[in-house]
Amino acid sequence: MEKFPSIVEDVMSSPIITIDSESMVRDAALIMADRHIGSIIVIERGEAVGIVTKRDMLERVVAPCRDVCTTRMKEIMSSPLISVPPKVGILEAMRKMREHNISRLVVKENDRLLGIITERDVIRAMNIASLTSFTTILRKK
């Protein structure tokens, strides 16, 4: 039987893209656009302290007409980071996202950043699991 994704490390994105908390929002936007990512982790003195998503940029910078060239990442980041260990089940990660009303979790082990998991990653994993189960049933016939 084929193995389907069941734990966070099976579907997380890695490595995590980071930016310094003193960096300007424009710098983050350029990195996010270049890398085709929807969020970036904010680092301060070598430690992950927050996250900024595309939505944060829209709501906290664009909508209120703040200047992307003078607004620092630390001014708009969401903090603290909500994290899960890499071996936690995908469904437990989804529960944690729902509990905190967020769409991303940082994956950490012993205070080390390993990756990030999004709702989209969870949905994709569940689709793979469903298709794998369905394929297994079809092969038995």
Contact between 6 and 128 (Cβ < 8 Å): no
pLDDT of residue 92: 93
pLDDT of residue 1: 37
Beta strands per DSSP E along the chain:
18-20, 39-44, 47-53, 83-84, 104-109, 112-118
- For residues 78 and 101, what is the distance between their CA atoms, to the nearest angstrom? 12
Give pTM, 2 decimals: 0.83
pLDDT of residue 70: 98
Each residue's pLDDT expressed in tens, for the chain with a length of 141 residues:
345 678 999 989 999 999 999 999 999 999 999 999 999 999 999 999 999 999 999 999 999 999 999 999 999 999 999 999 999 999 899 999 999 999 999 999 998 999 999 998 888 877 765 655 555 555 665
Q: What is the CATH number of domain 8-140?
A: 3.10.580.10
pLDDT of residue 125: 77
Contact between 76 and 109 (Cβ < 8 Å): no
Per-domain residue ranges for the chain? 8-140
pLDDT of residue 100: 96
Q: Which residues contact 121 (CB under 8 A, 6 or more apart)?
A: 11, 12, 13
pLDDT of residue 4: 66
pLDDT of residue 137: 55
Total number of residues shown for the chain: 141
Bridge-based pairing state of the strands 39-44 and 18-20: parallel
- How is residue 110 written in tokens? 């012993």
